Amino acid sequence: MNPTEIHVTKPDFQRLEHLVNGWWATDDRTRELLELLQQELDRALIVESEEVDPDRITLGSEVALRDLHTGEVTVYRLAWPRDAASGDSLPLSILSPMGISALGYREGDQFEVAAPGGKRRLRVEEVRYQPERRLRAAQPA
């Protein structure tokens, strides 16, 4: 488990709880991923959308992650399992080990994720887009 505190917006939390509770997993791997997602949700600090830090990863965020072993930076969009990412980012399913692990972290945070070749250590380099940031910008002052 990653010890750094994560923040999840209330709407994301509710949708993800619904996903965890409503998904009929027919295979062991999906059940494991749902359990991992539930563990992350259990440790999350739930915040209102307008209160989430603009550099936190939320559902729909486009984020640059650096692999601390290789130094490679890759841009992902955290998405629902069925959604394809648009733009230049790669889709990152919220039901993947990396997607589950990235949720709620902020720029500069580091986390580990289990990968086929062993554990990978990643750092959040930049949250390039966050839906809540765009919504706040559209609200009148």
Q: Determine, yes or no, domain membership for 2.
A: no
Is 31 a member of any domain? Answer: yes
At 78, which CATH number? 3.10.50.30
Residue 1 lies inside a defined structural domain of this protein: no
pTM here?
0.87
For residue range 90-104, list pLDDT tens digits in order: 889 999 999 999 999
Candidate from 19-23, 45-49, 52-56, 75-79 with smallest mean pLDDT = 19-23
Per-residue pLDDT at 1 exceeds 50: no
Percent of the chain having pLDDT more than 70?
A: 88
Band of the pLDDT at 135, cuts 50, 70, 90? low
Q: Mean pLDDT across the chain, nearest whole number?
A: 88
The answer to whether 114 and 33 are in contact (CB under 8 A) is: no
Residues of the domain holding 93 = 7-138
The residues near 110 (Cβ < 8 Å, ≥ 6 apart) are 4, 68, 121, 122, 123, 124
Q: State the CB neighbour count (10 A cutoff) for residue 6.
A: 20
Dist CA 58 CA 49 (whole Å):
10
Determine the pLDDT at residue 51: 93
Mean pLDDT, range 70-95, rounded to an integer: 84
Using the predicted structure, report yes or no on whether residue 22 has a pLDDT greater than 50.
yes
Asked, for residue 104, whether it belongs to a domain, the answer is yes
